[in-house]
Amino acid sequence: MAFPSLNLLLQSILSGIFIGGMYGLIGLGLGLSWGLLRQINLAHFGFVFLSGYLSYHMVTVWGIDPLLTLLILAPLFFAIGVAQQWLLSRFKISPFNSLLVTFGFTVMIESLIQYVWTADFRKLQSTYGEEKFKIGGLFVPVPELLTLLLAILLAFAVWAAMRFTDIGKAMRAMAEDGPIAAAFGINQRLLSLLLSGVCVAFAAIAGVCFALTFTLTPTQIFSWVGVVFAVVMLGGLGSAIGPLVAGIIIGVSEAIAMVLFAPSWAPIVSFSLLILMLLFRPGRA
Amino acid sequence: MNKVILSGIFAIGLAFAVLPWLGVPAFWESFLYLLFHWIVLAVSWNILSGYTGYFSFGHGAFFGAGIYGAAYLAGTIGWPFLATLPAAILVAAALGVGLGAVVFRVARVRGELFALLTLAITFVLATIILNTRIDGGPGIYLIGVDIPKLGPSQSASIYMMGLIAAVATLAISYIIYASKFGTGLFAIHDDEDVAEVMGVPTYRYKLYALAVSCGLAGLAGGIHAVFISYVTVSETFSIAVPLSVVLMSILGGSRHWIGPAVGAVFITCLLYFFTSGDYAVFGRAMVGLILVIVILFMPSGVLGMIAQWRRGRSTAAAVTAPPAHETASTAAVVRLANKPAPSTEVLLQVRGLTKAFAGLRAVDNVTLEVRKGEILGLIGPNGSGKSTFINLVSGHFKPTAGEIIFEGQNLAGLDAHRFAQAGIARTYQIPRPFSQMTVLENVAMVAMFGGTGMSRAEATQAAEEFIAFAGLSHRAHALPDDLNLHQRKFLELARALAARPRLLMLDEVLSGLTPSEINEAIEMIQRIRDRGTTIIFVEHVMRAVMALTDRIVVLNYGAMIAQGNATDVMNEESVKAAYLGKAHA
């Protein structure tokens, strides 16, 4: 274990915070649908990648600005989310079976991506994709900063909506006890459709950020499952701010583990945290 | 256990064993090997996850432990290959048991949490193997490893090992399915808390199932190491193994011993024929689509559907003919004993029993005794601690303080199944039958595990008598969901009786019944006592309490406020105050 220089340490903590923003952004929609709809939507990861590829396609083939693709993709994925929820509620899928069904969707999405864009690596090239600036010796890449800001913005927007709007309160009531909430006049069906749409639209936003920051390849879909699950569970199911906080905690601890030991040791951090939490505070989930 | 099925498994195995000597092309040997490989993995997964309902996403970890166990010992250290297989089994089983010993202690780690936890274990194990000398990054080659000659060629030898593993796995799966152990696992699947209270040592059983399941996955891994001859962390611990086995088992039917094998054959063929050639992408998409369709339209799998269809036919035939003497009072009475003389001998002694939930003392320092052969009424307003008392004396809750001395033995602090084995049984106020078992299986299950325990055959026979006693014979093969409330309450009774308890606790058996059904039930409770069973009777229906009980105990806010003869106790001021409130005027 070689002790790194202070600057290197700070730089990796910063990149840990940024990757944590990505974890939090992906985890937000996943945790909301898990906590409030009782659906473990594995397809969330598929949607993130599909959105990333679509954004890549629009930018490189049609020459649209990456941020503008958000305006097209978010509504489109909202509709996909509504459709998926309609299907799952139509067949009264249990939480566990939702995991299996959405795994099926993910495999189909993966095949679709592989068919359209092949298994090669794809990198979205944009004007600000490579941009970075320097604050006091630390490099700050623009796309990562954008991801983090979006993650914070969305997390707080959801938190405020849940707390202060009628729809948000109705959703919390529905999550607590669906049939009782329905008996008090809450339109459970409509709310579920809406919520699922929002969650998948969040996946689309995460996907665009992902494409800006990372290289795309279809087989990567499943490699994010584990760590984002850990983030969601640590942050608390159905929580708005929790996944972001947990994401940053995990991101930073991974980054520190990478500098102190070796990059290949990083996964053990998030999963050890998850295992410890499941064992000692299983009530969180 | 059906000897025909077991010999059938071995006969089919023998038939396949001849193939290599008939000059089959090597392609078929390796294809069939893959089939056997997936059968072992899917069926072994099912022994834990299908039977007990604890879905594991960590089968890849146990499989990987087997692969790396064998690869490291044979490829790196140079053990003879055959010696590495037992090691692979042991390593995988030890990993599973070590994990389970910790995880199963945490009562709330069930369902999704267990699935995620096992998934996380897979990643942790992969990281450790990748970063230590076991692999270190480049992977392990097993090219030079000598494979024992079990067939005319090297691929035939691997084929034979796969075949032996598959036959062994199927036989083990069937033996467990048809045994008392298997019944206990299915009870855990349906309602783990009730299973424990009915006498199933749930913790131990889950560990055994996990050990068998992991050991077999380790075996599959060990053999697979020489089949692929080059093992890497990324291939071994990919998400493909856990998800494939789940898919195969769900598709085939995870409540059936051979269901996962059916699914394994189907999926392996599908993947093999679709993913070779130009249509690989479509093949994968097809697998995804099939998974979606299967879960949406037949969530209990192929064999589950067949079983449902068969049960539907048989109950349609049975239900049409309810017996002429349907009421319980005229049904055959089992081993009717003479009414025992009132006794002063103490059966159960409770001393200073206290249960606190985060400050609230639901049962507070209760001391009482129950005498042999009596019916003790336990009454009190709602929230007075009656149900908590029953949960304590049945072992479901561990007391905060106090002693529960049953027939001279202090049971406080033991697991609930020890209470059941000691001779204590209970019913639930809201019936909690095992929902996937028929009425007969429900009762037989308790006969197997309650009290001194019975073999499966004895238990089934005894169960028929108890069902007749409760007047449910014509519904013996129905599922609990198809019963009405009255029948479900009587099923609760039959099930508690099947444990042949010396102390029976009845928790509001009469609530929700009509007046005539109450009369029937009172009569039945009298007949249960006449057989020599001591009863603690919790009830709000005072008519029944007055008619049945020898003594009553009144609880209020967790504390005992009165005990004695029913009429006297009901006239005590403190009891009136507890029920009606104090007059302040």
Could you write out the three-class secondary structure of B471-540?
A: CCHHHCCCCHHHCCHHHHHHHHHHHHHHCCCCEEEEECCCCCCCHHHHHHHHHHHHHHHHCCCEEEEECC
Handedness of CA A170, A173, A177, A182 (dihedral sign): negative
pLDDT at A232: 87
Distance from the Cα of B34 to chain A's closest Cα (Å) equals 22
In this structure, are strands B140-141 and A132-135 parallel, antiparallel, or unpaired?
Answer: unpaired
Of A97, A108, A264, the CB nearest to B289: A108
Q: Using CA atoms, how far apart are residues B134 and B41, in angstroms rounded to an integer?
A: 23
Per-residue pLDDT band for B337 (boundaries 50, 70, 90) equals very low
pLDDT at A48: 94
Largest Cα separation within chain B, whole Å, is 102
**What residue spans of B178-257 are helical by DSSP H?**
180-190, 192-197, 202-228, 233-236, 240-252
Q: Using CA atoms, how far apart are residues B484 and A145, in angstroms rounded to an integer?
A: 62
In this structure, are strands B503-507 and B534-538 parallel, antiparallel, or unpaired?
Answer: parallel
Q: Which helix (H) or strand (E) holds B564?
A: strand B559-564
Of A87, A267, A282, the CB nearest to B127: A267
Residues of B in contact with A282 (CB under 8 A): 106, 108-109, 113
**Which residues in chain A come in under a pLDDT of 70?**
1-3, 128-130, 281-285
pLDDT at B330 over 50: no
Test B113 with A40 for CB contact under 8 angstroms: no
Residue of B365 and B151 predicted with greater confidence: B365
pLDDT at A188: 80
pLDDT at A38: 82
B-facing residues of A in 261-280 (CB < 8 A) are: 262, 264-265, 267-268, 271-272, 274-275, 278-279
Report the residue of chain A nearest B293, measured CA to CA: A101
Yes or no: say if B250 and A100 are a contact pair by the CB < 8 Å rule. yes
pLDDT at B331 over 50: no
CB atoms within 10 A of CB B10: 14
Estimate the share of chain B in helix, then strand, then coil, as percent rounded to the nearest 5.
60, 10, 30
pLDDT at B148: 80
Q: Using CA atoms, how far apart are residues B259 and B243, in angstroms rounded to an integer?
A: 16
Which tens digits make up the pLDDT trace of B181-208? Answer: 999 999 999 998 999 999 999 999 999 9
Spatial strand order of the sheet with B409-410 comes to B360-371, B346-357, B401-406, B409-410
Report the residue of chain B nearest A273, measured CA to CA: B120
Distance from the Cα of A121 to chain B's closest Cα (Å) equals 17
pLDDT at B323 over 70: no
A99 CB near a chain B CB, below 8 Å?
Answer: yes
Distance from the Cα of A33 to chain B's closest Cα (Å) equals 14
Ranges assigned E (strand) in B386-502: 401-406, 409-410, 424-426
Q: Using CA atoms, how far apart are residues B241 and B236, in angstroms rounded to an integer?
A: 8
Distance from the Cα of B56 to chain A's closest Cα (Å) equals 12
Residue closest to B453 by CA, chosen among B394, B409, B500: B500
Residue of B159 and B131 predicted with greater confidence: B159
Q: Using CA atoms, how far apart are residues B370 and B529, in angstroms rounded to an integer?
A: 14
B126 CB near a chain A CB, below 8 Å?
Answer: yes
Of B111, B124, B284, the CB nearest to A111: B284
Token pair in block for residue A185: 């006049």
Token pair in block for residue B71: 């690869």
Measured CA to CA in angstroms, residue B551 lies from B366, B562, B564 at distances of 16, 11, 5
Distance from the Cα of B139 to chain A's closest Cα (Å) equals 15
A104 CB near a chain B CB, below 8 Å?
Answer: yes
Test A282 with B108 for CB contact under 8 angstroms: yes
Which tens digits make up the pLDDT trace of B24-38? Answer: 888 888 899 999 999
- HEC profile of B246-307: HHHHHHHCCCCCCHHHHHHHHHHHHHHHHHCCCCHHHHHHHHHHHHHHHHHHCCCHHHHHHH
Q: Residue B460 burial by CB count (10 A; 0-12/13-18/19+): exposed, middle or buried? A: middle
Of B131, B137, B239, the CB nearest to A222: B239
pLDDT at B462 over 50: yes
Q: Using CA atoms, how far apart are residues B126 and B60, in angstroms rounded to an integer?
A: 10
Residue closest to B130 by CA, chosen among B232, B62, B61: B232
pLDDT at A132: 74
Report the residue of chain A nearest B240, measured CA to CA: A222
Q: Which helix (H) or strand (E) holds B379?
A: strand B375-379
Per-residue pLDDT band for B281 (boundaries 50, 70, 90) equals confident
Q: Using CA atoms, how far apart are residues A161 and A158, in angstroms rounded to an integer?
A: 5
Interface ipTM > 0.90: no
Q: Which helix (H) or strand (E) holds A167?
A: helix A166-176
A-B CB pairs within 8 A amount to: 116
pLDDT at B582: 66
